[in-house]
A and B are shown apart, each in its own frame.
Chain A
Amino acid sequence: MRTNDLIDMLATGASLEQAGDPWRRLVYAIGSGALVSTILMVKAIPVNPDITNAIQLAAFWQKLGFAAAIAAVALLMVFRLSRPGVRLGNVFPALMVPILAIWIVAGIALATAEPEERASLFFGNTWKVCPFLITMLATPVFAASFWAMRDLAPTNLRLAGAAAGLFSGAVGAVVYCFHCPELEAPFIAFWYLLGILIPTVVGAVVGEKLLRW
């Protein structure tokens, strides 16, 4: 086909406006994903029975804040990476803020604890399931963000996939906070982060294929 014919074809048609706003669709997709993962948490691995006491503790909010801060930065990355030619800005330093903060708190907690208590601060009672449950709760958000991003135009597919994975992992962690009885910073600093990083790595790996347009 000649290029001029293509231009004619593209420029003619009932309307140039697209049906539906894909940005709104991204927001809806992410919202529905988060809702599904909340339902999954409530049904499959119920809410912490002690949640009413837990939410009165600073340590609970520290845990939730850590996951929510990562989710917020990752969401910004998802938006920026879905739009061609938009700079990422200082998202990487911003991402390091919650991570370094929890590492510092965890380091202090480990350093000031009695040596025989350190293992229990780090492993808690649930380290074996924590990263996998976070990954499981991330799955609906992961699928939803990938689905919505395919309508947009990511140009760095690996990084865009990683950002979507990071976001879903962090949302999974936020939801998981309401199940998880662990409150110690060393536990959060490692096992939560690991749970968030699993979908991030998966996202980077599958991004190249799934986000191609």
Chain B
Amino acid sequence: MSAERLQDLLVRGLDGDSQAYRVFLSDLTGYLRSYLMRRLSSLPDDVEDLVQESLLAIHNKRHTYDRTQPLAAWVYAIARYKLVDFLRGRAIRDSLNTPLDEEDGFFASSNTDAAEARQDIMKLLDQLPEKQRMPIIHTKLDGLSVEEAAQKSGMSESALKVGVHRGMKALAAMVGEKR
């Protein structure tokens, strides 16, 4: 039974088995994706973003999982919360903003030399808030591990991970590519 297997993997993960935890997350991803695809069939471009949001939420809120509780109820409640939150935010954005299609299109066809790429990246990074920029510079450009980057920047590991995730998403949005 896959629910029991996943639950077992999560429990082992919570006990410190990071290999089991990784398998848990990646197996769960498939279920999350299929749930969110069904619910977001009209917005297929946003499914993967929301899969990642849900994974991040599940990771950050793993201390609220009670081991005697059915895993499906817990995961479902989180995924559903993130879905509702996303749809609500989207509704608010749509009612407030005019579409930014033209600006998006401006960056979509960019074509820069490799030599200029790093410089451009730094320009984009400069637009990110500090708590997203530093995690990305440390982990993605300087190649530090999450642990080292956390020590260097004085952030907690989970805050650093959130920073990388949010920052990468913001960067992707800036260059006008989905995912």
Contacts and interface: CB of A to CB of B under 8 A. Distances in A.
Interface of A: 1-4, 6-19, 21-23, 82-86, 152-153, 155, 212-213
B146 A12 contact: yes
Nearest to B21: A11
Given A22-B63, A82-B64, A213-B57, A4 B26 contact: yes
Contacts of B29: 3, 7
Given A1-B165, A16-B21, A155-B78, A21 B56 contact: no
Given A18-B63, A82-B64, A212-B85, A13 B146 contact: yes
Contact of A84 (B64, B147, B156): B64
B16 interface: yes
Interface stretch (B38-46, B68-76, B97-105, B110-118): B68-76
Given A7-B26, A84-B78, A16 B179 contact: no
Interface string B19-38: 10110011001000000000
Nearest to A14: B147
B78 A153 contact: yes
B33 to A, nearest CB: 8
A122 B47 CA distance: 58
Nearest to A151: B63
A122 to B, nearest CB: 43
Contact of A16 (B16, B51, B161, B172): B16
B131 interface: no
Contacts of A14: 147, 157
Given A1-B169, A3-B29, A84-B81, A10 B161 contact: yes
Nearest to A83: B64
Interface of B is mostly: helix
A213 B54 CA distance: 11
Given A3-B48, A85-B73, A21 B63 contact: yes
A155 B55 contact: no
A49 B37 CA distance: 65
B116 to A, nearest CB: 23
Contacts of B19: 11
A10 B61 CA distance: 12
B52 interface: yes
Contacts of A13: 18, 146-147, 157, 161
Nearest to A8: B22
A10 B70 CA distance: 23
A200 to B, nearest CB: 22
A30 to B, nearest CB: 17
Contacts of B146: 9, 12-13
24 contacts: A1-B52, A3-B51, A7-B29, A9-B161, A9-B165, A11-B13, A11-B21, A12-B146, A13-B147, A13-B161, A14-B147, A16-B18, A16-B62, A18-B62, A18-B158, A22-B63, A83-B74, A85-B72, A86-B66, A152-B64, A153-B57, A155-B81, A213-B57, A213-B61
